[in-house]
Structure 1
Amino acid sequence: MARKRPRKPSPPLPPPHESSWLYARIAPRHIAMFRFLLEAQDNLGYMTVLDRGVGGGTNDNTAEDNGAARNRCGTEGGAPGGTGKGSTAPGADAVLKIVFSPHQEREMRAFLEGMRATIPFTVFESPLRARATSAG
């Protein structure tokens, strides 16, 4: 039997000009596990915490801290359902920003869907992006 010739590798995809991102609302106690599982998927993406959702007894945040954490997720009052950084409400949800390559959006969404079996969280799009697509 004749030996099969090795297949030529397909040309690589052109590099994207910008990253894609999603937001996740999660309990603060699950952030470490979320990061651990995301980092276990080699180079799929990374996350950053926009709003810790953990409050203390006093609200000693500066105006700069409150505005910076809330406005990054696209709404003036924080993420939908979020209570804001420094909130005194027990069980306030944290907001994470998940950044990944647009070429890997399908893989990222499948990974996040599978991770829901381990950690309870919800994924949502940027409120600004949703408004821009509905207006234009």
Structure 2
Amino acid sequence: MSKVGKSSRRRPRKRICPPPPLRSQRMYIRLDPAKIGLFRFLLEGYDNLGIFTVTNKFKGILQLWYSPHQKKEIRQFLQALRTEMDVEVVSTGLEKKTSLFGEKIS
């Protein structure tokens, strides 16, 4: 018996997962306060790329936390979001460098 017509199957490569980060990164964004709920649903729809809290509900300023490994995905998400609403990155949150315990890092 011959093995005619048998195709070779390749196994999919395992995705290399980077080590867990020691801390998360954050950025402050500004959007229309009426669109905060829509922002939440869209962020959840993008596989929960990050979490956020409302810093100023009257000005629509949000603090967004995300994994440093997903910085590219967060930027792509915000770029895609600009088709739905006006989103402005106010600050990346890297101006003050502190450790997890509040100690200043030089």
TM-score (ref. length: structure 2): 0.75
Asked whether the equivalents of residues 26 and 66 of structure 2 are also in contact (C-alpha less than 8 Å), the reply is yes
Which residue is 1:94 aligned to?
60
The structure richer in helix per residue is 1
Letter in 1 for 2:46: Q
* 1:130 corresponds to 2:100: no
Q: CA RMSD in A?
A: 2.0
Q: 2:83, 2:56 → 1: CA distance?
A: 23
Aligned length: 93
From 1, 16, 29, the counterpart of 2:21: 16
Which residue is 2:70 aligned to?
104
What secondary structure does 1:130 align onto? coil
- For each residue in 1:70-128, what CA deviation from the matched residue of structure 2 results, as whole angstroms up to 9, or x when unmatched? xxxxxxxxxxxxxxxxxxxxxxx22101111111110011111110110112013246x
* 1:6 corresponds to 2:11: yes
Q: Which has the larger radius of gyration?
A: 2
Which residue is 2:49 aligned to?
44
Q: 2:80, 2:91 → 1: CA distance?
A: 18
Asked whether the equivalents of residues 78 and 87 of structure 2 are also in contact (C-alpha less than 8 Å), the reply is no
TM-score (ref. length: structure 1): 0.60
Structure with bigger RCO (C-alpha 8 Å, 6+ apart): 1
Q: 2:48, 2:31 → 1: CA distance?
A: 22
Post-superposition, which runs of at least 4 consecutive aligned residues in structure 1 deviate over 2 A? 124-127, 129-132
What secondary structure does 1:99 align onto? strand
Which residue is 2:85 aligned to?
119
Q: Within 5 Å, which residues of 2 pair with 1:23-62?
A: 23-53=28-58
Name the CA shift for 1:5/1:24 in 2 (closer, same or farther; >3 Å): same
**Greater Cα offset, 25-34 or 3-12:** 3-12
Deviation at residue 46 of structure 1 after TM alignment: 1.4
Letter in 1 for 2:89: V
